Structure 1
Amino acid sequence: MTGYLTTHVLDTARGLPAKGIALKLYRLEGETRTLLAQMVTNDDGRTESPILPAEDFAPGSYELVFEVGAYLRATGQAGAEPLFLDVVPLRFGMAEPTHYHVPLLLSAYGYSTYRGS
């Protein structure tokens, strides 16, 4: 099997998929951070295609950056400025050529992630 990367953003406060969240994927090599992809979540809180498709997969260290501030403002959850959460960076490694699913469970004052399926 060839590896690839997907995500899913869920708004845990509202119990809904988080639509319209911009995200970026970077490959990390030492102090070098290389932008590989930019996408926006759809109605289901997912991207329309894998963030890192099979043909571009390589084992290594990565960072997914979710720009959640605009979403929290648009849904009335932002609170006072500056926001508690505006940008959420997740750093993780992919060691084997398999499907990696890195979801973000989001609220205005907290988030969690895990390796999903």
Structure 2
Amino acid sequence: MGRLTTHVLDTAKGQPGSGITIEIFRLAAGHREHVGEAVTNMDGRCDVPLLEGEAFTPGEYELVFHAGDYLRVQGVEDDEPRFLDVIPLRFGVADSSQHYHVPLLLSPYGYSTYRGS
């Protein structure tokens, strides 16, 4: 069964990014549909897949990571507005029977992502 998962790692501190709110959107024909929300646990992961089974279909998606709130809690000082606050990641799903793992590697002034397994 296909599923969508994520994992947030704080690369500046070398630890999981816990307590980060993530919104999930499905994109289609100029429309952005909110399909879910999750919060990372102490391991920087979500307790259940973001989407799976019939809810996970081919198409374009966006994960929105509320990183600024996490960075504030971690005591990272920055001018307002913050350099990084809300981080949107858009990606395509061609085969929804597969596992799409979309991690976020986060630091106060940069981030990266990739498709993992």
Could you say which TM-score interval applies, normalised by the shorter chain? over 0.9
Provide, for residues 5-50 of structure 1, a one-character-per-residue CA deviation record: whole Å limited to 9, x for no partner.
Answer: 0000000000000000000000000210001110100000000100
Q: Secondary structure at the match of 1:72?
A: helix
Tell me how far apart the structure 2 counterparts of residues 53 and 24 of structure 1 sit (CA, whole Å). 15
Question: Does residue 1:93 correspond to 2:92, yes or no?
Answer: yes
Q: In the alignment, which residue of structure 1 is the partner of 2:106?
A: 106
Preserved CA contact (<8 Å) 1:69 1:78: no
Letter in 2 for 1:60: G
CA distance in 1, matches of 2:64, 2:86: 7
- Distance in 1 (alpha carbons) for counterparts of 2:23 and 2:83: 20
The answer to whether the 8 Å contact 1:103/1:115 transfers is: yes
For 1:8, the equivalent position in structure 2 comes to: 7
Residue 55 of structure 1 and its aligned partner are, at CA, apart by: 3.0
Structure 1 length as normaliser, TM-score? 0.96
For 2:19, the equivalent position in structure 1 comes to 20
- Separation in 2, partners of 1:116, 1:64: 15
Paired position in structure 1 for 2:75:
76
Q: Which runs of 5+ in 1 are unaligned?
A: none
Q: Secondary structure at the match of 1:84?
A: coil
Counterpart code for 1:103: P
User: 2:20 corresponds to which letter in structure 1?
Assistant: I
Counterpart Cα distance in 2 of 1:78 and 1:104: 21
Partners of 2:80 and 2:68 in 1: CA distance: 10
| RMSD over equivalenced CA pairs, Å | 0.8
Query: Normalising by structure 2, what TM-score?
Result: 0.96
Runs of 4+ in 1 over 3 A off after TM superposition: none
Task: Tell me how far 1:54 sits from its aligned partner.
Answer: 1.8
Query: In structure 2, what is the Cα distance between the partners aligned to 1:91 and 1:35?
Result: 13
* Contact 1:78 1:108 (C-alpha < 8 Å) held by counterparts: no
CA contact (8 A) 1:6 1:102 kept: yes
In structure 1, the partner of 2:40 is 41
